[in-house]
């Protein structure tokens, strides 16, 4: 019997590739999508499509109403997602799209579900190169979370297993992630990356997430199959 794992799945290309890598490694995959922002419907649909196309044993959607807390352009309707329409530069430093304690929350939910499932491996598609401004995408954060997880849980304390947070794309460039996903037959047309899509779900092409995605596809010489808003 394969080991179970929980995979955090946003519906973007990073988490889709991470899920494909967990499957390649022989895990029995349980996907968890945490919905928190202003793009619920589009993200939900993308995550469902990706989970279905890659084959998971179960897929749960968890609604986290982070607008109660605010503090990010992705959770507070009064803050704008930054866009650079001139030179396609991405924001430097920690951007306003940083969501306070977001990955801590996502990993905590994944940990809760893992404990219920009897799984000890949690996959998350964090990347410390492209999103160098996000503190909760760095290896030192992942290590500290892992240590905490093994002290926080009954399963960890009773020695039934040791929780591991798996971050297979943490050190890859966006181009390398796309190469890896292509190799594993990820259908990128099903994924969604944009922070600010229009009502038809078309990507804006100008937020940090779109810019990184487009650069990655350009670098590997592929056409990004998702729809973009007209200029």
Nearest approach in angstroms of CB 81 to its own copies is 17
Q: CA 180 to CA 125: how far, in whole Å?
A: 13
From the list 41, 157, 218, 227, which residue makes contact with its own copies (rule: CB under 8 A)? 157
Contacts of residue 15, Cβ cutoff 8 Å, sequence gap at least 6: 7, 8, 9, 50, 124, 125
Site for its own copies in 192-231 (CB under 8 A): none
DSSP string across 32-59 = EEEE-SS-HHHHHHHHHHHHHHH--SEE
As measured in angstroms, the least distance from the Cβ of 155 to its own copies is 8
Check binding of 109 to its own copies (CB under 8 A): yes
Helix axes 174-183, 13-24, angle to 10 degrees: 50
Comparing CB distances to its own copies, the nearer of 144 and 218 is: 144
Q: Is 162 in the site for its own copies (CB under 8 A)?
A: no
Residues 6+ apart with CB under 8 A from 140: none
Q: Considering the complex, state which of residue 86 and residue 158 has its C-beta at the smaller distance from its own copies.
A: 158
For residue 25, the minimal CB distance to its own copies (Å) is 24
Nearest one of 48, 54, 58, 56 to 185, comparing CA atoms: 54
Kindly state the number of chain residues that form the binding site for its own copies, as judged by CB under 8 A. 44
| Binding status of residue 102 toward its own copies by CB under 8 A | yes
Chain residues binding its own copies by CB under 8 A are 60-66, 68-71, 94, 98-105, 108-109, 111-113, 115-116, 135-136, 138, 140-141, 144-145, 147-149, 151-154, 156-158
């Amino acid at each position: 019997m394969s080991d179970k794992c929980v995979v955090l799945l946003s519906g973007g290309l990073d988490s889709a590739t991470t899920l494909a890598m967990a499957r390649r490694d022989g895990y029995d995959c349980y996907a968890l999508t945490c919905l928190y922002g202003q793009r619920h419907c589009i993200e939900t649909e993308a995550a469902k499509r990706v989970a279905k196309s890659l084959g998971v044993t179960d897929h749960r959607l968890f609604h986290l109403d982070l607008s109660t807390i605010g503090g990010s352009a992705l959770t507070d309707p009064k803050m704008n997602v930054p866009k650079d329409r001139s030179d396609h530069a991405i924001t430097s430093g920690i951007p306003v799209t940083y969501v306070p304690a977001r990955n801590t929350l996502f990993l905590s939910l994944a940990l809760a579900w893992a404990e219920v499932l009897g799984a000890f491996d949690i996959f998350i598609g964090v990347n410390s190169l492209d999103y160098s401004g996000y503190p909760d995408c760095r290896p030192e954060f992942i290590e500290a979370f892992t240590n905490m997880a093994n002290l926080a849980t009954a399963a960890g304390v009773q020695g039934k297993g040791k929780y591991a947070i798996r971050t297979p794309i943490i050190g890859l460039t966006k181009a390398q992630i796309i190469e890896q996903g292509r190799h594993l037959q990820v259908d990128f047309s099903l994924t969604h990356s944009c922070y600010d899509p229009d009502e038809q779900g078309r990507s804006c092409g100008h937020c940090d997430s779109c810019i990184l995605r487009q650069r990655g596809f350009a670098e590997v010489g592929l056409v990004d199959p998702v729809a973009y808003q007209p200029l």
